[in-house]
Structure 1
Amino acid sequence: MIRKITLACLFLLAFNANAQQALPIYLDDTKPMEERVEDALSKMTTKEKIAMIHAQSKFSSPGVPRLGIPENWMTDGPHGIRPEVLWDEWEQASWTNDSCIAFPALTALSATWNRDMALLYGKNLGEEARYRNKNVLLGPGVNIYRSPLNGRNFEYMGEDPFLAGEMVVPYIKGVQSNGVATCVKHFALNNQETNRHGVNVIVDDRALYEIYLPAFKAAVQEGGTWAIMGAYNKYKGQQACHNSYLLQDILRDEWEFDGVVVADWGGVHDTKEAIYNGLDIEFGTWTDGLTWGRSNAYDNYYMAAPYLELIESGEVGTKELDDKVRNILRLSFRTTMDRNRPFGSFGTDAHAKASRIIAEESIVLLKNKNSLLPLDIKKHKKIAVIGENAVKMMTVGGGSSSLKVRYEVSPLDGIKNRAGNDFEVVYARGYVGDASGDYNGVVSGQNLKDDRSEAELREEALRVAKEADIVVFVGGLNKSDFQDSEGNDRKELELPYGQNELIRDLAKANSKFVYVNISGNAVAMPWEKEVPAIVQGWFLGTEAGNAIASVLFGDVNPSGKLTFTFPVQLKDNAAHALNAFPGDDEVTYKESIFVGYRWHEKQNIKPLFPFGHGLSYTTFKYSDIKADKATVSQDETLRVSVKVKNTGKRDGAEVVQLYISDTESSLPRPIKELKGFEKIYLKAGEEKTVTFSIAKEDLSYFDDKKHQWVAEPGSFKAIIGASSQDIKGDVRFTLK
């Protein structure tokens, strides 16, 4: 075999050396890309073109072997590279070398409020995908957090479109620096899992353009993503994966996207709509009554034999087909046919280190009464760790983002690792939630079965809590169905498995009580006033336990900030206050632009924890907020500056947030909207000046009557805050 490959290579070298004039233009990477695209396209048959626009296996689509154009290989997901599955089945392929490094979920990444962390994340994840020879990464997700019950929120970047847009751009650039395309998803309005294939979303154009599209637009125009994934839901009565308004009018015409539109698996429903409405590659569909177990069904896909038959009968032409193939060829030239793309690396210690750095920076200190944290060896010699989530693997489960990892450090093990011989650590389960360890074909290897009664578990936990100097309860959600998981929405805001009652009892048994919440969603905390310290821990990936321990023990000063609002109760959320979540066959976004903190402020509802909130083990003082001018014209940039000083005894980082308020708008607008942020690192006693630039687009709203962005002349405020509620000051200015 080696001899055959060597002879073939020698033949090609000799051919290229002696007959370069015969080399097809599409193989010559010194030529302009569009010239190469047209040359390759001109050499393809109609059947070869049809083959390229639909899958040949669960995660691959064909190239053109005759012309040396490689296959395209896709992979989930946004948090780590999915294990290999069989060619025609969802079952695992049982490889022994596909155990990845799991990175924190995207809710955690966005909670860093750090563009450098997004770049680091993308670069390392892209290296893992490249090494596994994947040229399309199915992520990241940037759908807006509309309800805390959406099962898939953990895969997204929060409730604010500006923040999501700012964080997705460096992620894309990091991944694509490896010659791997990002496939930003799910375009668009994919905000519930209930009836996700059938629900028709009704939303006004202002909300569409101001809330639900900006992160996708940033991904296309600033990040330069090479692929976009359509959503399952309908919009304007048409499936999002072949939606003329979303894919043609907005994505192609308004944003000038020249990449590939990939259908979410099973998201295609009609051949002619798929032909004319902007879809390029169809994946995961089962048509003509074929079952999930049927093999080699790919020729029956909507964009396969049915499309070819329409061409051969003369009912449709080939212009649209050629456009689809052009987009796919650009993908090939940017990835598999780029001879300079790096080789990548997989499952490395360097990737694990990067995952831990991101995880540590994402953890949010929500409450710390009387400075209970960090853990102190002088006061807390004996630590009781309680809760199933202290030991349960969280890299498995959740749907398509379920991972087979090289290793995962649990919170309990992380605390034990850090405690060493200086602290005594004891553990009690407290409750049994989900003892299973098999999700989406990924087997965790854990056996958490526990036959003890609820009373026995509670009694043990109370005894352990009373005997300890401090209690660390690790609870929250998991990635089982109807929690943080694809396919189903949560049923309630409350914590599952009777945790609320247990937390109350434990906090009475030991007043030095720390609650660590593992989730990608907000949860109700009816006991909040009874618990002195609360930490938001997210799904943190491979190094989860070590990252949590480093914050609890103070080795890392927490600097994460919330990217969505924690409501006190479910009806405080706009979608639920208006009975607009979830929809069945139809859902109307009655709250329009007033999502998240915008709704809370409009209705004057105090949240449990506000958007942008996060404490530190040090303190910061804001001062000298000023603008460089009092009046600004439409084409000028206003600069607003603020001094921030670390007034505590520890080094730390602060996220300085800029909000804009239009005080004279003729249309309803939020009280304020995030339009800038900077994360700064300050040594104890150090002071820095942060400067924000404010341009016309930061002051604009979308006028749905004119179908354009409008910056209305009048009075504005630039507001500086440490969160959406913790306002440090503002400056007024006038837009001419």
Structure 2
Amino acid sequence: MKYRKLIEKMTLEEKASLMSGKDFWQSMDIQRLGINSMFLSDGPHGIRKQAAAADHLGLNPSIPSTCFPTAATIANSWNQGLGEKLGEFLGEEAVSLKVNVLLGPGINMKRNPLCGRNFEYFSEDPYLAGKMAANYIKGIQSKGISACVKHFAVNNQEERRMAIDTIVDERTLREIYLTAFEMAIKEGGTKAVMSSYNMLNGTYANENLHLMQDILRDEWGYKGVVVTDWGGSNDRVAGLLAGNELEMPTTGGETNIDIENSIRSGEIKEEVLDECVDRILDLIFTTEDVFKQSSEDFNLDKNHRMAQLAAEESIVLLKNEKNILPLKPGTKVGVIGDFAKNPRYQGAGSSVVNPTKLDKTFECLDESGIVSLGYAPGFKRYGKKSSKLIREACELAQKAEVVLLYLGLDEATEAEGLDRQNMKLPQNQIDLLEEVSKVNSNIIAVLSCGSVVEMPWIYKVKGLLHGYLGGQAGARAMLRIISGDVNPSGKLAETYPISYEDTPSFNNFPGKEVTVEYREGIYIGYRYYDTADIEVLFPFGYGLNYTTFEYSDIEVNREGVTFKIKNIGKFAGKEVAQLYIGCTSKNIFRPAKELKGFIKVFINAGETKKVTIPFDDKTFRYFNVKTNKWEVEEADYEIMVGASSRDIKLTDVIFIEGTGASLPYDKYKLPSYFSGEVKNVSEDEFEALIEKKLPEAKWDRSKPLGYNDTVAQCQYAKGAVARFAFKLISFAYWFLRKIGKRKTANIIMMSIYHMPFRGIARMTGGVINMPMVDGILMMANGHFFKGLNHFLKERRKMLKNNKIKSASKVEKISTEAAKER
């Protein structure tokens, strides 16, 4: 151990205290030994350092910092260097704000387009997500602090996220949901990992020995710290045994006692605790060194320009009929849409950043060379219909040469804690587009949202630009694309299906009660659409440019693939070349193609560049469930280079020797997986894949409510008070949405409705402890007076113990002070 001598000076109580938070955002300190607190801050796309210690929900504004584009946006840049540079800026700001651990990036897979937190995640593809995350981490940690990659693992829905049991087969787990984490650890070198709320195959993620020990520690060699998601600890002792060092936030010392008692009883060896303490100390000491140097405030203007550059490179041009874009200088436009005046530039929930400044379309129009004839809001932001606003918008559209129509999803639709209800734009925006198109056919739609939407209206627009969530400088960046000052180079990091019903997880998302079943297996995103030959609106990797690129001269050898790209258009531009691999053998089911490399290249008009994409250890591998390790199948592999997953420009074939492993599957038991048509996999076939019986997916309504049951389940409670409370909460949610207070309604859903009973103790910082939760459960289960009496008795006991502790602490300080005198 690195800090053995220091650990030997600690009492058992001091060691245990380091395993949980001091408050909502800080780790515990031990001043007598020179051990300081760490500050952990939300921050996938900016630093959200809350001034108020207990403000996890972001009810109060955080300290101002640069709001960079979200991960879903930056993924569309396909630029690893940009990711690292952005990480450096994030790290620099974190240092200036005295943040030790930046809680990001988030790299969960976009299994389903409706996951409410997709705006925080990179891609549906683990290779792209892993490469981008590794570079973010390198950039952040180059400034001396720690990144914290999250949420480990298979956290792909927000509904019931603190209690849902994810059922997934081992191969899918490894190839799809863990590969990006593996890259973040091995290539990025992250110092911290955040465990996810959910269960994985029956065990909570932070207690799952297979996930936390077999894979993370033993296979990947991870030496850093594992932090729980806030309130994400179920059984503290089981979590510690799995190697989960830091529980956040504070529990007021309650779980420290659990750890102390487990060591005194012999359930845990003290050496296990010592190792956890050693890793915590290493994180504290290696991240606080940078604060000892004089750190200046970050440069607001410089960082704002970086946010603009990042947004410019991530905007995706999806449609450009008759080359309506870029607009010529002097073009007279009508600007329509609420998002033009009040930009939608980030997601909602724990990642909300208080920007240092905020560009707005109207304030940036003059410098673009475009002539504005005026602005009309066109629609109400949160979906209410208004004929008057549509009429005013049409009057403006009639006068304009071109309409810039700003559409998208509002902040209450894409948010942490709940999933989207559908994949559509609000109907009032579609109605607006319909009416405007009747008076002006030259419409350029500008989309602002963090995830996939259906576009049955796309034929009504000539131009379509998707800015995703472009951060505080996104509005100016978008105008620079529209005016032609910047050539768009973004490409989609996720597939756009024609309708939600086309998605492979349509029948199995979200898990509503006990479990969510990943019956589609390895076939998520383009892996499904391209294998099952499903028509899509926009394929993975798609994006237009103001110029044209020509591919030629492919050469393949053992090290990689080399080819040429020529810019045959009139504009200089950047092209994203993508390497896909397809195994020609049919002995093991595999997607038709998988991304195994990519590169972004700047090429001047008329110029040709020779490009190489190397193979690596992930190019030909698959996970064999029989040998329980990565293997290579001996076969011919098709090497495909393309501008998207469905625009393959060059192909070749290479023979690869295999590792000789036995075949893992009986293809007759798994016909859906061998065909790739996995949208309707039967229970029997899925059980054949996971090689065990499926657990019960529905709540057992006959059982009393327990710690891991949610407030939502009070609708079935034996106690009338609990059922009444459920109805009251449900009514409050409905009423707040009805009167337009959707953000407040979302907080109820996120922080109350789907909260397990244990979360009441875990998220209240010691105000309510687990014995008091026992009293609440008694009341919910039909023993109201007994439960109330128990609750009040335990509360009095807790307050008395707290008073004794406080007195003891004061006495200890006084004694130490006297010794010093």
TM bucket, shorter chain: 0.7 to 0.9
Look up the equivalent residue of 1:299 and give its one-letter code. Answer: G
1:521-580 Cα distance to aligned partner (Å, 9 max, x none): 01010011221111111111111111111111110000000000011000111101x444
1:494-573 to structure 2, matched below 5 A, reads 494-573=424-503
Residue aligning to 1:388: 338
Cα distance, 1:342 vs. partner?
Answer: 7.4
Amino acid at match of 2:448: I
CA contact (8 A) 2:335 2:372 kept: no
The question of 1:607 aligning with 2:536 is answered yes
Is 2:380 the partner of 1:432?
A: yes
Which residue pairs with 1:291 in the alignment? Answer: none
Instruction: State the 1:309 CA deviation.
Output: 3.1
Cα shift at 1:423: 1.1
Aligned-residue offset at 1:496: 1.7
SS of the residue aligned with 2:407? strand
The Cα shift of 1:180 comes to 1.1
Instruction: Name the CA distance, whole Å, in 1 between partners of 2:344 and 2:202.
Output: 37
Note the 1:40-119 alignment, pairs <5 A.
Answer: 40-90=6-56, 98-119=63-84
Q: Is it true that 1:252 corresponds to 2:217 in the alignment? A: yes
Of 385-394 and 214-223, more deviation after overlay is shown by: 385-394
Deviates more, 1:260-269 or 1:695-704: 695-704
Could you tell me how far apart the structure 2 residues matched to 1:395 and 1:384 are? 21
Partners in 2 of 1:226 and 1:643 — Cα distance?
A: 39
425-434 or 488-497, which deviates more: 425-434
Using the TM superposition, give the Cα deviation of residue 476 of structure 1 relative to its aligned residue in structure 2, in angstroms. Answer: 1.1
After superposition, what is the alpha-carbon deviation per residue over 1:494-524, rounded to whole angstroms, capped at 9, x for unaligned? 1125222221222232111011111110101
2:353 pairs with 1:403: yes
Q: Is the Cα–Cα contact under 8 Å of residues 518 and 539 in structure 1 kept in the other structure?
A: yes
CA distance in 1, matches of 2:516, 2:481: 41
Deviation of the 1:318 alpha carbon: 1.5
Residue pairs, 1:318-337, within 5 angstroms: 318-337=270-289
Question: Which amino acid is the alignment partner of residue 357 of structure 2?
Answer: Y
Conservation of the 8 A alpha-carbon contact between 1:135 and 1:336: yes
In the alignment, which of 479, 486, 490 is matched to residue 416 of structure 2?
486
> 2:572, 2:267 → 1: CA distance?
69
- Check the 8 A contact 1:109/1:359 in 2, yes or no: yes
Is 1:202–1:235's contact at 8 Å kept on the other side of the alignment?
Answer: yes
Letter in 2 for 1:514: I
Give the aligned partner of residue 211 of structure 1: 176
Q: Between 207-216 and 241-250, report the one with greater CA deviation.
A: 241-250
Q: 1:323 to 1:638 in 2, by over 3 A?
A: same
Deviations 1:454-512 (A, max 9, x none): 110110111111111101111111221xx221011000011125222221222232111
2:200 to 219, 235, 238: 235
**Residue matched to 1:622:** 551
In the alignment, the residues of structure 1 paired with residue 157 and residue 361 of structure 2 have an alpha-carbon distance, to the nearest angstrom, of 30
Q: Counterpart of 1:263?
A: 228
The aligned residue for residue 4 of structure 1 is: none
Show the counterpart of 1:590: 519
Query: Which stretch of structure 1 is more off in the superposition, 540-549 or 311-320?
Result: 311-320
Counterpart of 2:389 in structure 1 is 457
Instruction: Give me the whole-angstrom Cα distance separating, in 1, the residues matched to 2:445 and 2:378.
Output: 13
Closer/same/farther in 2, CA of residues 191 and 607 from structure 1, 3 Å limit: same
What's 2:559 paired with? 638
> How far off is 1:68 after superposition?
1.2
Distance 2:108 2:617 in 1: 25
C-alpha distance after superposition, 1:686-714 (max 9, x if no partner): 10011122245301111111111111111
Structure 1 counterpart of 2:326: 374
Residue in 1 that maps onto 2:252: 298
- State how far apart, in whole Å, the 2-side matches of 1:58 and 1:585 are: 29
Give the superposition deviation at 1:271: 2.4
2:565 match: secondary structure: strand
Structure 2 CA distance for partners of 1:246 and 1:416, relative to 1, 3 Å: farther
In structure 2, do the counterparts of structure 1 residues 726 and 93 end up closer, same or farther at CA, with 3 Å as the change threshold? closer
Match of 2:480, SS state, is: helix
Q: 1:342, 1:112 → 2: CA distance?
A: 34
- Aligned CA distance change for structure 1 residues 340 and 231 (closer, same or farther; 3 Å): same
Deviation at 1:724, TM superposition (A): 0.5
**Contact 1:129–1:344 (Cα < 8 Å) also in 2:** no
Contact persistence 2:164–2:511 (CA under 8 A)? no
3-state SS, counterpart of residue 640 of structure 2: strand
Distance 1:580 1:84 in 2: 33
How far off its partner does 1:145 sit? 0.6
Q: Which amino acid aligns with 1:59?
A: W
TM-score (norm 1): 0.86
2:786 maps to which residue?
none
Tell me how far 1:344 sits from its aligned partner.
5.9
Of 137, 151, 154 in structure 1, the residue corresponding to residue 116 of structure 2 is 151
Give the Cα separation in 1 of the matches to 2:156 and 2:385: 38
SS at match of 1:557: coil
In structure 2, the partner of 1:293 is none
Q: Show the counterpart of 1:473.
A: 405
Partner of 2:155: 190
Gaps of 5+ in 1: 1-33, 286-296, 436-451, 629-636
Distance 2:253 2:292 in 1: 34
Alignment root-mean-square deviation, CA: 2.0
Amino acid paired to 2:380: V
The Cα of 1:194 is off from its aligned counterpart by: 0.8
**2:582–2:638: 8 Å Cα contact kept in structure 1?**
yes
Task: Give the aligned length.
Answer: 657
In structure 2, C-alpha distance between the alignment counterparts of 1:90 and 1:640, rounded to whole Å: 48
Is residue 345–residue 448 contact of structure 2 (8 Å, CA) maintained in 1? no
Q: How much does 1:258 deviate?
A: 0.5
CA spacing shift, 1:236–1:208, aligned 2, 3 Å: same
Question: How has the CA–CA distance of structure 1 residues 526 and 205 changed in structure 2, closer, same or farther, with 3 Å as cutoff?
Answer: same
Give the partner amino acid of 1:526: P
Instruction: Return the alpha-carbon distance in structure 2 between the equivalents of residues 338 and 320 of structure 1.
Output: 29
Deviations 1:126-158 (A, max 9, x none): 111111101000000000011110010000001
| d(CA) in 2 for partners of 1:399, 1:353 | 25
Alignment-mate amino acid for residue 552 of structure 2: S
The alpha-carbon deviation at position 393 of structure 1 amounts to: 4.3
| 2:693 corresponds to | none
Deviates more, 1:313-322 or 1:122-131: 313-322
> For each residue in 1:194-235, what CA deviation from the matched residue of structure 2 results, as whole angstroms up to 9, or x when unmatched?
111111001111111111101100111111100000001110
Corresponding letter in the other structure for 1:689: K
Task: Specify the alignment match of 1:653 in structure 2.
Answer: 574
Task: Tell me which residue corresponds to 2:87.
Answer: 122
Residue among 704, 710, 726 paired with 2:631: 710
Q: Deviations over 1:319-356 (max 9, x none)?
A: 22112111101112321146787736435211111111
Contact 2:318-2:466 at 8 Å conserved across structures: yes
| Whole-Å separation in 2 of the counterparts to 1:73 and 1:521 | 31
Report whether the alignment pairs 1:308 with 2:255. Answer: no
1:316: how far off?
3.7
In the alignment, structure 2 segments of 5+ residues that lack a partner are 658-821
Asked whether 1:164 is paired with 2:129, we answer yes
- CA distance, structure 2, for counterparts of residue 73 and residue 87 of structure 1: 11
Flag the 1:395–1:424 CA change in 2: closer, same or farther, 3 A: closer
Which SS does the other structure have where 1:413 is aligned? helix
CA distance in structure 2 between the aligned counterparts of 1:696 and 1:51, rounded to whole angstroms: 41
So what's the TM-score if we normalise by structure 2?
0.77
Contact 1:580 1:590 in 2 (8 A): no
Q: Kindly report which structure 2 residues correspond to 1:648-687, keeping only aligned pairs within 5 A, or say none.
A: 648-687=569-608
Is the Cα contact below 8 Å between 2:346 and 2:471 reproduced in 1? no
Describe the shift of the 1:508–1:339 C-alpha distance in structure 2 as closer, same or farther (beyond 3 A).
closer
